[in-house]
Structure 1
Amino acid sequence: MANRIVIIAGATGLVGREILSGLLADDTVTEVHSLVRRMPAIRHPKLTNRIVDFSALPPLAHADELYLALGTTIKVAGSQEAFRAVDYDGNLAVAGAALSAGARRVGVVSAMGADSGSRVFYSRVKGDLEEALTQMPFERLVIARPSLLVGDRESLGQPTRRGEEIGFALGNALGFLIPANYRPIEAAAVARALLAAVPSSKGKTILSSGSMQPKA
Structure 2
Amino acid sequence: MAGATGLVGREILARLLAGNSYSAVHCVSRRRPDPVHPSLVVHVTDSLSEFSAPPVDDVFIALGTTLKVAGSQQAFRAVDFDAVVALARSARAAGATRLGIVSAMGADAKSPVFYNRVKGEMEDAVSQLGYDSVVFARPSVLAGDRKALAQATRPGEQLALVAMRLFKPLTPRNYRVVAAADVAAALVNAVKADQPGHRVLLSGELQPA
TM-score range, shorter chain: over 0.9
Residue 111 of structure 1 deviates from its aligned partner by 0.6
Which stretches in structure 2 are left out of the alignment for 5+ residues?
none
Work out whether 1:182 is the aligned partner of 2:187: no
If the length of structure 2 is used for normalisation, what is the TM-score?
Answer: 0.96
Deviation larger for 138-147 or 194-203:
194-203
Contact 2:4/2:33 (8 A) holds in 1? no
Identical counterparts, % of pairs? 50
State the alpha-carbon separation in 2 of the partners of residues 49 and 104 from structure 1: 21
Counterpart of 1:198 in structure 2 is: 191
Contact 2:141/2:178 (8 A) holds in 1? yes
What aligned pairs does 1:67-146 form with structure 2 within 5 A after superposition? 67-146=60-139
State the alpha-carbon separation in 1 of the partners of residues 82 and 19 from structure 2: 30
Work out whether 1:212 is the aligned partner of 2:192: no
Counterpart of 1:148 in structure 2 is: 141
Counterpart of 1:166 in structure 2 is: 159
Which stretches in structure 1 are left out of the alignment for 5+ residues?
1-7
Work out whether 1:54 is the aligned partner of 2:48: yes
CA RMSD, Structure 1 to Structure 2 (Å): 0.9
State the alpha-carbon separation in 1 of the partners of residues 53 and 175 from structure 2: 37
Counterpart of 1:40 in structure 2 is: 33
Residue 81 of structure 1 deviates from its aligned partner by 0.3
Q: Counterpart amino acid of 1:213?
A: Q
Paired residues, what number?
Answer: 207
State the alpha-carbon separation in 2 of the partners of residues 183 and 174 from structure 1: 9
State the alpha-carbon separation in 2 of the partners of residues 79 and 172 from structure 1: 32
Contact 2:141/2:176 (8 A) holds in 1? yes
Contact 2:137/2:183 (8 A) holds in 1? yes
Contact 2:102/2:138 (8 A) holds in 1? yes
Residue 164 of structure 1 deviates from its aligned partner by 1.5
Contact 2:53/2:87 (8 A) holds in 1? no
